[in-house]
């Protein structure tokens, strides 16, 4: 398959690095947009397990958990790498077909610049370019990061 170019997105939040990292990871269930969940209105929470080898997943109101991928690197408060095991059809995908999302938290004069790179889309197979285009669109990672920034503003 032809390589699919990575996505790069970013945002600055008015919080120190450690607070931004903690809010992004430990409080994901409070800010992650419902449109990017399987459960939608039935979402109870989203979780990032705080360790390499853990999972990031959602839990619905019935207690069912659906994984979004694995934690590939856990380096608080500066770096987080997640597999993205969501298919182009928005269904769970085997880990071997997952792309990768790296998020860096860079201190910047009392604030934090969040730099995100989503790469390795070709691992998803057919539909990889469509998935990439969707996540690069204004309704993809830019929306997700904007929701996080809104959450940080309180």
Distances (CA, A) of 149 to 4, 52, 61, 119: 28, 25, 26, 22
pTM for the model stands at: 0.95
- For residue 2, being part of any structural domain is answered with no
Structural domain range at position 132: 7-153
Q: What pLDDT, in 10s, does the model give residues 92-126?
A: 999 999 999 999 999 999 999 999 999 999 999 99
CATH of the domain at 76: 3.30.530.20
Q: Of 11, 72, 67, which is closest to residue 39 (Cα–Cα)?
A: 67
CA–CA distance, 36 with 85 (Å, rounded to integer): 13
Residue 1 belongs to a domain: no
Q: Would you say residue 61 has pLDDT above 80?
A: yes
The answer to the question of residue 118 being in a domain is yes
Q: Is residue 18 part of a domain?
A: yes
* Residue 23 covered by a domain: yes
* Closest C-alpha to 21, from 115, 109, 138: 115
Would 137 be classed as within a structural domain? yes
Q: Considering its fold, how many domains does the chain have in total? A: 1
């Amino acid at each position: 398959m032809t390589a699919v170019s990575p996505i790069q997105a970013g945002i600055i939040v008015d919080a120190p690095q450690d607070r931004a990292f903690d809010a992004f990871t430990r409080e994901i269930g409070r800010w992650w947009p419902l449109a990017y969940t399987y459960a939608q209105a039935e979402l109870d929470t989203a979780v990032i397990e705080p360790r390499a080898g853990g999972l990031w997943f959602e839990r619905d109101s019935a207690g069912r958990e659906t994984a979004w991928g694995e934690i590939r690197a856990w380096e608080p408060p500066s770096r987080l790498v997640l597999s993205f095991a969501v298919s182009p059809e928005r269904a769970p995908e085997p880990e071997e077909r997952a792309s990768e999302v790296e998020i860096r938290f860079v201190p910047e004069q009392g604030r934090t610049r969040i730099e995100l790179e989503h790469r390795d889309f070709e691992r998803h197979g057919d539909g990889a370019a469509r998935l990439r285009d969707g996540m690069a669109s204004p309704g993809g990672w830019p929306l997700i990061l904007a929701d996080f920034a809104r959450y940080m503003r309180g």
